[in-house]
Amino acid sequence: MAEPFKLNLLQRPRRLRRTPALRALVEETVLRPADFIAPLFVVDGKAPPDAIASMPGVFRLNVADLVKECRALWKLGVKGVALFPKLDAKFKDEEGTQALNEETLVLRAVRAVKKAVPELVVITDVALDPYTTHGHDGVLNAAGDDVENDRTVGILMQMAVLQARAGVDLVAPSDMMDGRVGAIRNGLDASGFSGTGILAYSVKFNSAYYGPFRDAVGSAQAAGTRLLSKATYQMNPANRREALLEATLDAAEGADMVMVKPAGPYLDIIREVRSQTHKPIAAYQVSGEYSQIQAAAKLGWLDLARTRHESLLAIKRAGANIILTYFAKDMAQALR
């Protein structure tokens, strides 16, 4: 019998993969419950949790159930939530005026959550799309064919101050208007909220992955289509250098954290932003990313637990400190 073939190798990387203990010792990226922020959808009234058809396992919650969910997340080690309201159509108009109502849904939700779980980091969205009949993130110009930048920023600044007054820890402008981070920082400081932070959606692409979210908050229904184009303010997915410019501008205007959204299809952008800033980086694993994993798992094409873990590990490995994900609760349970 011939002698078995033997390589004369000095370096054998497989040595450190031989046992679970060895693999754990050299593991470079580790996920923790504290890495996650859970996006939550809130509705008015007392109805039971309302399942979102395009987002399996995700629900719209009334304020009381939202508080219960926040308590459960905190006990699991999830340190933050991002709140998104779904308003009744009767509260929507062209100007999104309900956003400046001191008793609007999201502000009542913030006060309830902070009273029940004061240690929990509460983040609120600063954009007009949940409040407008046209579904855009700001007010439209006279022709009705584009969002008016500066007038929108003035409204967003007022929104941020109201949210700070309600008790949020971080306001999160997701609108992608030019100059809104600086205006919001100035507005917060002038109103006595210098301690309220800004998590800026700095690099938000005009992505096809947002469809289920638009169903969840009702902006697609308001606009009459889930294919609403926001190309004049959200970024071109083809652009890398522009992403770095946006992140740099927001950091210079006073953002405490910058965000890349979506996360999974833009790992290269997360890595590039990481290389140029010392600010904490958040990445949003958006509704379309979540739903496609759920759908493939339901068809038996993917292992749900392994795929969700791998997808989130990749986002953190790319350089994100914080991940907004609809898998937050399930991952926290699995990691514990």
Indicate the Cα dihedral angle 279, 73, 127, 252, nearest 10°: -10
**Long-range contact pairs involving 28-31 (C-beta distance under 8 Å, separation at least 24):** 28/317, 29/313, 29/316, 29/317, 31/309, 31/312, 31/313, 31/316, 31/331, 31/335
261 is catalytic: yes
114 is catalytic: no
- Out of 204, 230, 279, 329, pick the active-site residue: 204
**3-state SS class at 235:** strand
Task: Identify the DSSP state of 205.
Answer: B
Distance CA 248, CA 189 (A): 21
Distance CA 220, CA 225 (A): 5
Q: Are 100 and 193 in contact (CB under 8 A)?
A: no
Residue 255's closest CA among 310, 204, 330?
204
- Out of 86, 114, 261, 279, pick the active-site residue: 261
Residues serving a catalytic function are 204, 261
